[in-house]
């Protein structure tokens, strides 16, 4: 079954609101990464959080990691129209360094 599962599958919010996406995984990881994909484009790396870290910030992005619950969240504050995209979490598995992507959350920012 899928290692990384994002929740929700789709999210629509008003511009200016905060958007929160969650990711759950099953096995022991070295790190967890979040990526953004605009329609018709390749994925763009947003942030990497290591298994011994609990929180990381980058601009309007805030990522948390709870290894006891095997879950992570991505918070985008003060959303903008340009944030409309799909967001994927990816886990690097400790056992073999394999990276596994989740199915993604489609975020739509309404004007």
Partner 1 sequence: DTAVSQTPKYLVTQMGNDKSIKCEQNLGHDTMYWYKQDSKKFLKIMFSYNNKELIINETVPNRFSPKSPDKAHLNLHINSLELGDSAVYFCASSQGRRGEQYFGPGTRLTVT
Q: Which is nearer to partner 1, 15 or 62 (CB)?
A: 62
Q: Which is nearer to partner 1, 62 or 103 (CB)?
A: 103
Q: Which residues contact 23 (CB under 8 A, 6 or more apart)?
A: 4, 5, 6, 7, 32, 34, 71, 72, 73, 74, 89, 102
Q: Which is nearer to partner 1, 59 or 111 (CB)?
A: 59
The contact set with partner 1 (CB under 8 A) reads 30-31, 33, 35, 37, 40-45, 48, 86, 88, 90, 92, 97-101, 103-104
85, two tokens: 């995209």
């Amino acid at each position: 079954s899928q290692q990384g599962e994002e929740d929700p599958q789709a999210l629509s919010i008003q511009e200016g609101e905060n958007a929160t996406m969650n990711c759950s995984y099953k096995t022991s990881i070295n790190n967890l990464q979040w990526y953004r994909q605009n329609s018709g484009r390749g994925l763009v790396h947003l942030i990497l959080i290591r298994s011994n870290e609990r929180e990381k910030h980058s601009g309007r992005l805030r990522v948390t990691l709870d290894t006891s619950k095997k879950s992570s969240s991505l918070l985008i504050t003060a959303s903008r129209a340009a944030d409309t995209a799909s967001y994927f979490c990816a886990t690097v598995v400790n056992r073999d360094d394999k990276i596994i992507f989740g199915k993604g959350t489609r975020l739509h920012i309404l004007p």
